[in-house]
Amino acid sequence: MKKWTILRAYFMVYLACCIIYTIAKWKILSYEEGWGVVAMVGLISMGLVGILADFIMTLIINNKRILNGIGLLIAIGFSIMLWIELK
pLDDT tens across 18-33, in order?
999 999 999 988 888 8
> Taking the model in full, what pTM does it have?
0.87
Contact 13, 75 (CB under 8 A): no
SS3 62: coil
| pLDDT single digits (tens) 33-69 | 878 889 999 999 999 999 999 999 999 999 999 999 9
**CA gap 71, 9 in Å, rounded:** 10
Domain residue spans of the chain: 6-86
Distance CA 17, CA 20 (A): 5
Contact partners, residue 58, CB within 8 Å, separation at least 6: 1, 3, 5, 67
**Angle at CA 54, nearest 5°, toward 12 and 86?**
55
